[in-house]
Amino acid sequence: MADGTLRNIGPIILLGPPGAGKGTQAKRIAERYGIPQISTGDILRDNVQRGTDLGLQARAVMARGELVPDSLVCDMVAGRLRQADCARGFILDGFPRTPAQAGWLDAFLEREVFDNGRGGQCLPIVMRIDVDYNRLLQRLTGRRTCLANGHIYNVYFQPPRVADICDVDGSRLVIRNDDREEVIRERLKAYDLQTRPVAEYYEQKGRLVVVDGDLPVDEVSERVLREIENHAVTAAGGS
Ligand code: AMP
């Protein structure tokens, strides 16, 4: 069993461009500490698929590779963070993506306190995963997704045993609508213009940790988990 399951971990925020490996690392953190991964992209795609009001509003914006309006995403995140499984902590993957979302999140966390089990507040740990631009393009254009269970492959780096079929459950693998090259360029542009400043927002508050996402995936995980442990020790006053 995960060694951190009983501890309050607090909010973990993963920043980084599309294709940096946030989803992969978020899943590993979730498994290790028994806290949920909250991927705003996944929740939005699920809404699009189910044809909800939110999905209808987000669909065209997402297909263009642009960002969904802040108010829609913040309301969606608020609803998710109030669920009981977030009480000990959670991992935000793909949120906040604009400085306005970051400001909203700070205010939300302050209002709806996530304490550290000792009567103090758990400050979020914010990690940005950096990856070389050309490698990002390869990761995104090569990405194949199992729609049934979300398993992710890459035709260049981690191909399935049988082309286009998921190793785990035999489902057909698909190219995400927004993983087409012209959309990818828009998504990376949106990252540069709107999301890069989010890291600056946290850096100014002295809360940003940068992790080298060009390293092999297991080494990235090691560093990410080490940062979380360091943060937990500091938050507990070195005990
Ligand atoms: P992702 O899977 O995180 O790359 O997200 C896919 C798409 O969902 C993005 O290109 C945006 O259109 C939308 N999206 C996801 N998260 C956010 C967010 N925090 N703010 C605005 N749009 C988002």
Token readout for 98 is: 């604009």
Nearest atom (ligand 1) to Cα of 62: 12
Domain contains 48: no
Specify if 220 maps to a domain. Answer: yes
* Overall number of domains in the chain: 1
pLDDT at 3: 52
Considering only CA atoms, which of 131, 146, 128 is closest in space to residue 197? 128
The atom of ligand 1 lying closest to the CA of 187 is: 10
Q: Is residue 68 part of a domain?
A: no
Whether the CA torsion 151, 154, 159, 164 is positive or negative: it is positive
Query: For residue 195, what are the domain limits?
Result: 4-35+88-235
Q: Of residues 239 and 194, which shows the higher confidence score?
A: 194
List, by residue number, the catalytic residues: 22, 97, 143, 176, 187
Mutate which of 68, 179, 180 for ligand 1 pocket (most atoms within 8 A of beta carbon): 68
For the segment 168-191, the average pLDDT, to the nearest whole number, is 91
pLDDT at 233: 63
Can you tell me the distance from the alpha carbon of 149 to that of 168, in angstroms, rounded to the nearest whole number? Answer: 9
C-alpha 119 to ligand 1 mean position (Å): 34
How far is Cα 228 from Cα 234, in angstroms, rounded to an integer? 10
State how far the Cα of 189 lies from the Cα of 230, in Å rounded to an integer.
33
Residue 46 inside a domain? The answer is: no
Task: Indicate whether 81 belongs to any domain.
Answer: no
**Angstrom distance (rounded) from CA 91 to CA 31:** 11
pLDDT digits (tens, 9 = 90+) for 124-140: 999 999 999 999 999 99
44 CB less than 6 Å from ligand 1?
A: yes
Ligand 1 contact via 143 beta carbon (within 6 Å): no
Give the model's confidence band at 8: pLDDT under 50 very low, under 70 low, under 90 confident, else very high: confident
Domain membership of residue 61 (yes or no) is no
Q: 10 Å Cβ neighbour count for 148?
A: 13
Cα–ligand 1 centroid distance for 16 (angstroms) = 12
> What CATH number is associated with residue 8?
3.40.50.300
Tell me if 41 CB under 6 Å of ligand 1. yes
More confident residue, 148 or 73: 73
Cα-to-centroid distance, 125 and ligand 1 (Å): 21
Among 98, 45, 105, which residue's Cα sits nearest to residue 75? 105
Instruction: State whether the beta carbon of 224 lies less than 6 angstroms from ligand 1.
Output: no
Q: What is the pLDDT of residue 118?
A: 55
Q: How confident is the model at residue 177 (pLDDT cuts 50, 70, 90)?
A: confident
Q: What separation in Å is there between the alpha carbon of 41 and the centre of ligand 1?
A: 5
pLDDT bin (cut points 50, 70, 90) of residue 239 is very low
Q: What percent of the chain has pLDDT over 90?
A: 76
**How far is CA 129 from each of CA 96, 196, 208, 213, 214, rounded to the nearest angstrom?**
14, 12, 11, 5, 9
80-121 pLDDT, tens digit each: 999 999 988 999 999 999 999 999 999 999 888 665 555 556
**Least confident range of 24-28, 54-58, 235-239:** 235-239
Q: Is position 134 within any domain? A: yes
Q: Is residue 62 part of a domain?
A: no
Whether residue 37 has pLDDT greater than 90? yes
Average pLDDT across the chain, whole number = 90
